[in-house]
């Protein structure tokens, strides 16, 4: 079924795991002739897929010096720039697309190459918080739609959160009309007593080939995962929090909705929960949604935040990726010589991705997608369970932008969650919600005494693994 017709040209930057996975969805659901699609890529990945569909490819790395020269002949008013690459500044591309009158979408806000680990920058300056501030500074200017950070997370999870809030509201309070504005959504979260939101994800996909020494293995972009894993751990900082972590720092600029820790996200663990896995330790990897959701759901009074939830990613990747991160850290965050994206060799497993809402009258509620490798393969070629949750959200964001071409710069939280979920839901496996009485204090102190806050289980102090 075609969701939308598109009369412009499409330029896709990058053709790695997400680029290859989203192409079949674009060709299936967006009415655009293949002759109007161009792939610009830094390497040979995706060559066979492009040849299969007769797509034009340009193989050249984009840099500060050449990106305008390479892209200007390919784009104009009403065209679409789909950014799925790394090491190219998102802010530069958004500005460039706006200057040409082209639509834009990316899955994360990227700096120029080396920006994640530039020793000349402070941790605050190379944070996702800083990258987000540089991107949302482009708001307020009338122009073509530019959708920021719209993959699975960030992206899809913001829409899952709105559905989850409506379910908790239905189950715990008076039946009220759905919120229609940002202020009304924030007021609903405050009324429900949501203290914390985890983007709680457990990937159990397993391959018929084990990780080897000196090899980084993952089910999605290795460059992307390592880049964000080497950034400081970041989280939206809730108004219920009593104590700033000893290694926690606030930023001296911007919305002040988040803090960062003086340690990499890939070496920071937190306690969380999903329905099938139960309790587990996840990595507190920095992500844009940790900041954007906390900012979006802030309620202010007299110029100060009266309510804001604590928000962060809590990610347990596939077991081979965990081993890869352990090895990476042991090499002082120098990437292994070899990388392998798990795809055809996956034999079984699921990706359980959702939002865990904590602190309301029912305790905690997880809501999200449970998608198996078998389901993903049956639904769309060139995908695994993890990539499909990303690629269908890319598709949905593209459709929304084409349908709303003059909306300016927007984050996922500002899009119509009903429309996005209508497009995504057929590709998400089982979308389900589960209440739980789990808290991060469960079974704590049984073997070793710990310094915990017994008065409020949802303090970050109790969530963090130390």
pLDDT at 374 over 90: yes
Give me the pLDDT at residue 300, please: 98
pLDDT band at residue 312 under the 50/70/90 scheme: very high
pLDDT at 407 over 80: yes
Give how far the C-alpha of residue 231 lies from the chain's centroid of Cα atoms, to the nearest Å: 15
Domain ranges of the chain: 4-148, 156-385+426-465
Could you name the CATH architecture of 156-385+426-465? Answer: 2-Layer Sandwich (3.30)
pLDDT band at residue 45 under the 50/70/90 scheme: very high
Give me the pLDDT at residue 24, please: 97
Peptide bond into 154 cis (omega under 30): yes
pLDDT band at residue 174 under the 50/70/90 scheme: confident
Could you name the CATH architecture of 4-148? Answer: 3-Layer(aba) Sandwich (3.40)
What are 197-227's pLDDT values in tens digits?
999 999 999 999 999 999 999 999 999 999 9
Query: Which of 113-117, 242-246, 445-449 tops mean pLDDT?
Result: 242-246
Using left for φ > 0, alpha for ψ between -120 and 50, and beta otherwise, residue 449 falls in: beta
Give me the pLDDT at residue 118, please: 87
State the DSSP string of 340-379: EE-STTEEE-EEEEEEEEEEETTEEEEEEEEEEHHHHHHH
Mean pLDDT of the chain: 96
Distance of alpha carbon 346 from alpha carbon 105, whole angstroms: 29
Q: What is the dihedral of CA 401, 406, 411, 415, to 10 degrees?
A: -60
pLDDT at 447 over 80: no
What are 335-349's pLDDT values in tens digits?
999 999 999 999 999
Distance of alpha carbon 269 from alpha carbon 75, whole angstroms: 43
Average pLDDT over residues 37-60: 96
Give me the pLDDT at residue 158, please: 98
pLDDT band at residue 451 under the 50/70/90 scheme: confident
Give me the pLDDT at residue 201, please: 98
């Amino acid at each position: 079924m075609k969701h939308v017709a598109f009369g412009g040209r499409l330029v896709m930057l990058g053709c790695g795991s997400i680029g290859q996975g989203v192409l079949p969805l674009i060709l299936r659901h967006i009415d655009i002739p293949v002759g109007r699609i161009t792939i610009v890529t830094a390497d040979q990945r995706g060559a066979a897929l492009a040849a299969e569909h007769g797509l034009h490819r340009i193989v050249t790395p984009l840099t500060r010096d050449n990106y305008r020269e390479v892209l200007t002949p390919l784009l104009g008013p009403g065209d679409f720039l789909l950014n799925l690459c790394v090491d190219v500044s998102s802010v530069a591309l958004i500005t460039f697309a706006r200057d040409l009158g082209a639509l834009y979408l990316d899955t994360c806000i990227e700096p120029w190459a080396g920006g994640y680990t530039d020793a000349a920058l402070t941790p605050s300056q190379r944070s996702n918080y800083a990258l987000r501030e540089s991107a949302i500074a482009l708001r307020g200017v009338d122009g073509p739609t530019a959708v920021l950070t719209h993959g699975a997370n960030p992206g899809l999870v913001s829409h899952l959160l709105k559905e989850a809030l409506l379910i908790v509201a239905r189950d715990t309070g008076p039946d009220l009309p759905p919120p229609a504005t940002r202020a009304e959504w924030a007021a609903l979260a405050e009324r429900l007593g949501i203290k914390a939101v985890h983007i709680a994800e457990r990937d159990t996909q397993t391959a018929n080939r084990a990780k080897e020494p000196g090899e980084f293995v993952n089910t999605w972009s290795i460059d992307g995962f390592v880049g964000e894993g080497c950034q400081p751990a970041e989280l939206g900082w809730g108004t219920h929090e009593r104590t700033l972590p000893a290694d926690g720092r606030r930023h001296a600029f911007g919305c002040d909705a988040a803090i960062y820790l003086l340690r990499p996200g890939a070496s920071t663990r937190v306690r969380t929960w999903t329905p099938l896995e139960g309790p587990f330790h996840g990595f507190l990897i920095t992500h844009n949604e940790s900041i954007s959701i906390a900012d979006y759901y802030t309620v202010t009074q007299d110029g100060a935040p009266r309510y804001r939830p604590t928000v962060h990613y809590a990610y347990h990747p596939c077991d081979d990726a965990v081993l890869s991160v352990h090895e990476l850290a042991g090499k002082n965050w120098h990437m292994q010589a070899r990388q392998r994206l798990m795809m055809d060799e996956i034999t079984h497993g699921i990706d359980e991705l959702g939002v865990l809402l904590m602190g309301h009258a029912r305790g905690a509620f997880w809501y999200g997608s449970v998608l198996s490798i078998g389901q993903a393969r049956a639904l769309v070629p060139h995908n695994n369970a993890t990539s499909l949750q990303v690629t269908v959200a890319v598709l949905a964001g593209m459709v929304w932008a084409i349908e709303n071409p003059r909306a300016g710069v927007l984050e996922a939280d500002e899009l119509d969650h009903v429309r996005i979920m209508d497009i995504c839901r057929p590709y998400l496996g089982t979308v389900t919600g589960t209440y739980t009485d789990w808290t991060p204090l469960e079974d704590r102190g049984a073997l070793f005494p710990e310094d915990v806050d017994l008065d409020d289980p949802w303090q970050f102090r109790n969530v963090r693994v130390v």
